[in-house]
Each structure stands twice: as C-alpha cells, then as structure tokens.
Amino acid sequence: MKKEIQKVIHKANSRGAADHGWLKARHTFSFAGYYEEDREQFGALRVLNDDIIEAGYGFGMHPHNNMEIITIPLEGALKHKDSMGHTSVIKAGDVQVMSAGKGLMHSEYNASETEALNLLQIWVFPKHRNIDPRYGEKTFEPESMQGKWLNIVSPMEDTAGALQINQDAWFSLGKFEKGTNVSYTKKRAGNGLYVFVIEGEIQVDDEILSRRDAIGIEGSEVININIKDHAYVLIMDVPMNA
C-alpha cells in the first residue's frame, strides 16, 4: 500500500530566535530556550541552526555524545579544535562532520577578528550509539554543484566521495538558474526529504519557498522543484523512524 504523502512547511520567519549580542541564532527546530512541541525534529533530523557569530567570538570547549554534527559555513571562516586532536579552519565551500559517538569535546570560534561568520549547524540522530568519535572535512567546489545535486554527506558504507556519517542519511547541495526545473529521488525507502532554501526562491508542488524557508516531505519517492529565482538549496534525505 502506497504511503500517503505528508508535508510540513517551516517558513524562515517562523523559526525560533536568540540574540546574545555576539551570537544571533535562528532555530528551525526546538533548541536551547526555544521550544515548540510540533517542531522537535523531522525524523532523524534534530537540529538546524542558522548562526551568525561576531568577529573574535565563539563557543569554548564543550561536550557532545551520540549525535552526528554537520557544519556548513556560508560566509566567513570557523576555527575548530577538538579532543581527538584536530585543529582546522573551515570556510565557505567547506563542510565538516563529527560523529560524536561515545563522547568528545570541541570548540568553535569565528576565525576572523573583523568579519562576521554565518554557518548552518545540523544535528542528526545516529544509527549506532557509542561508536568511537570520528571527524571529517572536505572542500566542495562551487562548479561541482552548478545545475545539479552534489552529494556532500552520506552513510559510512557509502564511499562515493562524500563525507560519511553514522546514519542512513544523504545531504546534497545544488545551485540552480532561474526558470529551470530539477528533481531529486530519495536514496532509501522509509526516508523523508527535507528541503532548505539557503538562497533564492523555489516552488515545490504548490508551495513557494524563499530564502531560509523549508519543506519536509514524507511518502514521496521523487520531488520536483521549479526554480523561481537563482537558488542555492540543501536537501537532507533522512530516516523517519528515529
């Protein structure tokens, strides 16, 4: 029996907001002081934070466990350090993943003393608990996602060049021209698709989505997207049984 298609719309202006002066955050899902009963998660997707961190500021060493953490800088550069011995600076065009597993510590700061940093930080529930922590980062060239989907995150068993996480989830980025149409076929039965518009404007079914809007779709094998204005889009293909 075919599963009924279900949709949820998360408009940018409906997100939770926090202003700490040095940190301005928008929360798509319940996080810290923001809580909405119907916005705790979308399947395995638990956190989608859109953070602006002022120059010279950041988060000191703090712990994580049993969570897959994906960081995508959009503007500026992030200085990272962790208890596994990794130190690095990642910038727009880079993607970072951490499988926190049985536990790790890390810090993250704006690497600039003059310019603000804007990043997406995304948390996904893991497939297996208490694994050894893992770290990865990679640069993805803009032209590699022009007019098509570029897979940037995939399960550990997938060795096609994307960063690997401890979950049956795939993240893909695409940059598309106005007036074009693009489709996406989900990678795994039982997954849902969460589409986040980083920039631009798109149409999914009858829904018009603009900058930082999102739609979650469950029960559909393929989605078709009409690009209404030049768009930069993130699709998260995640298990719904988390």
- Spans of the chain below 50 pLDDT: 1
The CA-atom distances, in angstroms, between 217 and each of 32, 95, 123, 157, 223 are 26, 24, 18, 25, 9
- Does pTM surpass 0.85? yes
The CA-atom distances, in angstroms, between 44 and each of 29, 123, 148, 189 are 12, 9, 25, 14
* DSSP character at residue 111: S
Both tokens of 27, joined, read: 């929360």
d(C-alpha 166, C-alpha 228), whole Å: 35
Among 20, 159, 167, smallest CA distance to 99 is for 167
- pLDDT (0 to 100) of residue 1: 46
Q: Which fold has domain 6-239?
A: Jelly Rolls (2.60.120)
- pLDDT (0 to 100) of residue 159: 65
The CA-atom distances, in angstroms, between 232 and each of 107, 117, 150 are 28, 18, 12
d(C-alpha 59, C-alpha 12), whole Å: 24
Query: Are the C-beta atoms of 53 and 120 separated by less than 8 Å?
Result: no
Both tokens of 113, joined, read: 């003393």
The residues spanned by each domain of the chain are: 6-239
- pLDDT (0 to 100) of residue 3: 66
- pLDDT (0 to 100) of residue 160: 74
* DSSP character at residue 160: S
- pLDDT (0 to 100) of residue 4: 81
